[in-house]
Amino acid sequence: MIHAIGHALALAGSMTWEILWALILGFFLSAVVQAVVRKSTIVGLMGDDRPRTLAVAALLGAASSSCSYAAVALARSLIRKGANFTAAMAFEIGSTNLVVELGVILALLMGWQFTAAEFVGGPIMIIVLAVLFRLFVRSRTIEAARKQAERGIAGSMEGHAAMDMSVPGDGSFWRRLASRQGFTSVSHVFVMEWAAILRDLVLGLLIAGAIAAWVPDSFWQNFFLSDHPTLSALWGPIVGPIVAIVSFVCSIGNVPLAAVLWNGGISFGGVIAFIYADLLILPILNIYRKYYGVKMMLVLLATFYVSMVCAGYAVELLFGATGLIPSERNAMVMKAGISWNYTTWLNIAFLILAAVLMVRFVRTGGSPMLRMMGGSPDTGHDHHDHAAGS
């Protein structure tokens, strides 16, 4: 038993070491974008469910927090401020599935094809969701959800969702970013994003390590029907989100588990659908119930699930037709050990960058923000005062 646990921890640790520099890079790039995008300007661009508005909402989501809990909380906040419900859901999808850090980790662990599929399938998922809302979700159901949202019942990461850590004032992107306030804003967003996803990331790595060590490939091969390519392609997108729902892992944390499932035999479209389903894990479904009521929670479960399945089928067909589905299942999860190579040098370099940002975070009064991450959804948090004085 001790040996088995040690083997699982070794695999989890090795995977962590392999992706560490990419995680830091991804969150740094995300922090740079978030530092120049004011949350106060977002709601005015999300007043309807026209295609252009949904596209803008998805892009704004991609420029915000990648923490699933924070994305869900921010979407509810936008709805309370008058944003269209469908546009808020598009924002939520963009925030969790179209962010740069997710693309970086997918490329490193699984291959660039998975990053491309993620960014191709995300818009497809939003289109399907918008069509389903138009066809099946009645206006009175949405109005009832709005009334429930106005009650302001707390979910998770409310304080983090309410914080606006962007650079104040006018000026070009580079001028604002290169200022002292820009440095402070980037450090604040960087550290807060890490704090928001750390629990799910650690949980995902531990689960991935345990499954890789303890569950034989033959189990997954039978479960995903990998000996029957056509059936596997049909079955994967259906079962992928269900596995995600019961895994309790969201945000970036589900990528290591996705790598294990890919090595185990899940189809290409199935693993993409699995990654999308971080918005349907059981704790988030409970938050939907609190935010919008039981009926809307069931509506979101059904429409999101169908959208994920359709997006999974779409990328399976598109990438299969163009010959872009990898022929080998060699996602980076199976080496239990650390060697002195380019990964080590990259980790050292990016750990130094992370340390610089953390020092800046602490010196500019960022520490109290960590205690406010789970604050009330009705409490506004604006940290421009920290940036202005730095």
pLDDT tens digits, residue range 84-93?
999 999 999 9
Of residues 289, 297, 279, the one with CA closest to residue 137: 297
How far is residue 246's CA from residue 353's CA, in Å, rounded to a whole number?
A: 36
Report the pLDDT value the prediction gives residue 378, as an integer from 0 to 100. 54
Percent of the chain with pLDDT over 90: 38
Residue 287 confidence (pLDDT)? 87
Tell me the range of 39-43, 302-306, 369-373 where mean pLDDT is highest: 302-306
Q: Residue 250's pLDDT is what?
A: 66
Average pLDDT, the chain: 83
* The model's pTM: 0.78
Sign of the C-alpha dihedral computed for residues 276, 280, 283 and 289 taken in this order: positive
Sign, CA dihedral 373-276-210-345, equals negative
SS3 of 87-146: the string is HHHHHHHHHHHCCHHHHHHHHHHCCHHHHHHHHHHHHHHHHHHHHHHHHHCCHHHHHHHH
Q: CA 308, CA 314: separation in Å to the nearest integer? A: 10
Q: Is 164 helix (H, G, I), strand (E, B) or coil?
A: strand
Phi, psi dihedral angles at 335 (to 5 degrees): -100, 115
Instruction: Please report the pLDDT score of residue 114 as a whole number.
Output: 96
- Read off the pLDDT of residues 113-170 as tens digits, 9 standing for 90 and up: 999 999 999 999 999 999 999 999 999 999 999 999 888 776 555 555 556 666 666 6
